[in-house]
């Protein structure tokens, strides 16, 4: 009996050790389809044959986003496993104080080490002796723990770009003035880079971010043919990556994860808080940074006792503003306090259904947008901000229901699949088997 117990203990220990050994011959490929709302998949005629196949072969769940439901903050929660109050991303870059007017600006170029204030799962994977790749991922500029970077700002001088050009996979012209190219072209090039890296380098973790649907939904709204066609195009990009995994002989050693970062809402009216504030004589004291469905209100903290009540009084009467949230409500949203993070604002505005914020300083306070349009940035508790999680392949059992999950659960799931420890995450590994 004693011996049997000992044997069980040894067996259990060896299983434990095995589970914590970095999986050098495994791959986890994460594709983020920016701005794909979970509700879009309720339409059985959404043309997404690849996503439907992966959902059938693997696991699908509706996922809660984080506050703010803005691209860089959500993607940073995906890789850190913590909320924005902890990782420090509130916009598509770092919010810097300017010392002049406007009092803040968003800087996307800051290095990742300065921008992201929490450990990332790719740091952990890299330090475990595995390889990492990022293609158009965000808040990742010059990250020292990315083995193969193919940047949002790709150029003929980039390391992976040079390799691909030398092998004739892309031309130098393809990545010349790259950020001026249309977004569908860039998504195609980024997908080509993913296919190339899977084939040539088989990185243990590959992060790929595709943007066409987000661009189309901002400019034409999330419903209708433009968004549907963009979604079909992205499904084709996912199909290319899935085929690359198969062609590289990695099917039984790879987990493919497809996610999105935030949903979208169509709106027919813009709210311009700056116009109302100027009319109240606060135009040069209170600054509003619009983030679609929400807006950040900055004012001089030393004058807060006078300016905050005046600002609230002015904005309370403005059509289209659903809520004005003071710092007392920030921690419930996963956000830091103004005295904890210099990026933080004194008030958070949330738009009503059918409205989004604009930074315009002229014209009427509330106006029709220039065209049919869509926005995100509403609170993460808004069901229309819900996103998708699909996992298929190694370590995934078809049909498992993971229950309600959050984007902060993605990083610990990746760590688990690769046998890497990642104790800083507040999320939990998603049940996929
Ligand atoms: Zn986004």
Q: Classify residue 423 by its DSSP letter.
A: T
Q: Retrieve residue 76's tokens.
A: 């940073």
Domain count, the chain: 2
Cα(296) to ligand 1 centroid in Å equals: 18
Task: Indicate whether 9 belongs to any domain.
Answer: no
For residue 432, tell me if it sits in a domain.
no
Cα of 426 to ligand 1 centre, how many Å?
22
Whether residue 106 lies inside any domain: the answer is yes
Supply the pLDDT for residue 16. 46
The pTM assigned to this predicted structure is: 0.94
Q: Is residue 119 in a domain?
A: yes
Both tokens of residue 360?
């315009």
Domain contains 427: no
Longest dimension (CA), the chain: 84
Q: Cα separation of 47 and 26, whole Å?
A: 31
Interacting residues of 344 by C-beta distance below 8 A, sequence separation 6+: 90, 330, 335, 336, 337, 338
pLDDT digits (tens, 9 = 90+) for 31-76: 999 999 999 999 999 999 999 999 999 999 999 999 999 999 999 9
Tell me how far the alpha carbon of residue 303 lies from the centroid of ligand 1, in angstroms.
34
Asked whether residue 207 is assigned to any structural domain, the reply reads yes
| Chain position carrying tokens 């059509």 | 319
Residues 69 and 155 in one domain: yes
Residue 246 CB contacts under 8 Å (≥ 6 apart), including other chains: none
Residues 125, 34 share a domain: yes
Q: What is the pLDDT of residues 150-172, one digit of tens each?
A: 999 999 999 999 999 999 999 99
Cα(143)–Cα(341) distance, rounded to whole angstroms? 22
Q: Which structural domain range is residue 305 located in?
A: 269-368
Q: pLDDT at position 400, please? A: 97
* CATH number of 313's domain: 3.30.1360.110
139 lies in the same domain as 58: yes
Q: Give the per-residue pLDDT at 254.
A: 98
Q: What is the mean pLDDT of the chain?
A: 95
| 118-153: pLDDT as tens digits | 999 999 999 999 999 999 999 999 999 999 999 999
Backbone angles phi, psi at 365, to 5 degrees: -65, -40
Residue length of the chain: 433
**What is the band of 182 on the pLDDT scale with cuts at 50, 70, 90?**
very high
Task: State in Å: Cα 210 to ligand 1 middle.
Answer: 9
- 34 Cα: distance to centroid of ligand 1 (angstroms): 4
Average pLDDT of span 397-401? 97
Would residue 142 count as lying in a domain? yes
Whether residues 215 and 288 fall in one domain: no
Structure tokens, 71 = 């691209």
Q: What is the CATH number of the domain that holds 254?
A: 3.40.720.10
Residue 13 has pLDDT above 70, yes or no: no
CA 4, chain centre distance (Å): 49
What CA–CA distance (Å, rounded) separates 88 from 237? 31
Cα–ligand 1 centroid distance for 261 (angstroms): 6
Of 368, 389, 404, which residue is a domain's last? 368
Domain match, 356 and 398 both: no
Is the torsion defined by CA of 215, 221, 222, 223 positive or negative? negative
Instruction: Give the distance (Å) from ligand 1 centre to CA of residue 65.
Output: 11
Residue 398 placed within a domain? yes
Q: Determine the Cα–Cα distance for residues 87 and 124; give it in Å rounded to an integer.
A: 16
Residue 104 has φ and ψ, to the nearest 5°, of -135, 155
Confidence grade of residue 6 (pLDDT, cut at 50, 70, 90): low
CA of 6 to the centre of ligand 1 (A): 52
Q: Is the pLDDT of residue 7 over 70?
A: no
How many angstroms does the Cα of residue 102 sit away from the middle of ligand 1? 25
- Cβ atoms of residues 301 and 355 within 8 Å: no
Kindly indicate the confidence band of residue 383, based on its pLDDT and cuts at 50, 70 and 90: very high
| Distance from the alpha carbon of residue 237 to the mean position of ligand 1, in angstroms | 17
Using CB atoms within 10 A of its CB, is residue 118 exposed (0-12), middle (13-18) or buried (19+)? buried
Q: Give the distance, in angstroms, between the CA of residue 284 and the centroid of all CA atoms in the same chain.
A: 33
Q: Which residues pair with 150 in a beta bridge?
A: 135
Same structural domain for residues 345 and 389? no
Residue 123 and residue 238 in one domain: yes
Sort strands 205-210 and 132-135 into parallel, antiparallel or unpaired.
parallel
């Amino acid at each position: 009996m004693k011996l049997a117990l000992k044997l069980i203990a040894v067996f259990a220990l060896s299983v434990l050790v095995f589970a914590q050994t970095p999986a050098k011959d495994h791959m986890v490929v994460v594709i983020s389809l920016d701005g794909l709302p979970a509700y879009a998949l309720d339409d059985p005629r959404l043309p997404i044959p690849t996503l439907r196949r992966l959902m059938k072969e693997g696991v699908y769940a509706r996922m809660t986003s984080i506050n703010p439901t803005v691209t860089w903050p959500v993607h940073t929660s995906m890789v850190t496993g913590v909320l924005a109050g902890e990782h420090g991303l509130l916009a598509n870059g770092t919010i810097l104080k300017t010392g002049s007017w406007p009092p803040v600006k968003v800087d996307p170029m800051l290095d990742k080490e300065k921008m992201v204030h929490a450990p990332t799962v790719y740091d952990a994977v890299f330090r475990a002796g595995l390889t990492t790749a990022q293609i158009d991922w965000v808040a990742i500029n010059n990250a020292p723990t990315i083995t193969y970077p193919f940047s949002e700002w790709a150029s003929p001088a980039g390391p992976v770009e040079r390799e691909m050009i030398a092998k004739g996979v892309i031309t130098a012209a393809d990545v010349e003035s790259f950020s001026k190219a249309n977004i569908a072209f860039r998504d195609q090039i980024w997908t080509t880079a993913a296919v190339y890296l899977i084939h040539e380098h088989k990185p243990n973790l590959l992060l790929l971010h595709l943007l066409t649907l987000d661009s189309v939904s901002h400019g034409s709204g999330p419903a209708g043919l433009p968004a549907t066609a963009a979604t079909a195009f992205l499904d084709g990009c996912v199909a290319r990556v899935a085929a690359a995994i198969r062609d590289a002989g990695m099917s039984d050693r790879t987990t493919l994860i497809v996610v999105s970062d935030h949903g979208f809402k169509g709106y027919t009216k813009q709210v311009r808080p700056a116009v109302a504030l100027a009319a109240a004589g606060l135009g040069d004291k209170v600054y509003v940074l619009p983030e679609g469905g929400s807006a950040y209100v900055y004012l001089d903290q030393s004058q807060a006792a006078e300016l905050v009540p005046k600002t609230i009084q002015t904005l309370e009467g403005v059509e289209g503003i659903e809520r004005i949230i003071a710092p007392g409500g920030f921690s419930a949203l996963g956000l830091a306090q103004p005295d904890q993070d210099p990026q933080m604002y004194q008030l958070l505005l949330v738009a009503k259904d059918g409205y989004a914020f604009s930074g315009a300083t002229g014209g009427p306070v509330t106006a029709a947008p220039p065209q049919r349009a869509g926005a995100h940035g509403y609170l993460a508790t808004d069901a229309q901000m819900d996103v998708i999680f699909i996992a298929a392949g190694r370590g995934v059992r078809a049909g498992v229901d993971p229950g309600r999950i959050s984007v902060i659960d993605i990083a610990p799931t990746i760590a688990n699949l690769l046998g890497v420890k990642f104790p800083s995450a507040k999320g939990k590994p998603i049940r996929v088997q």
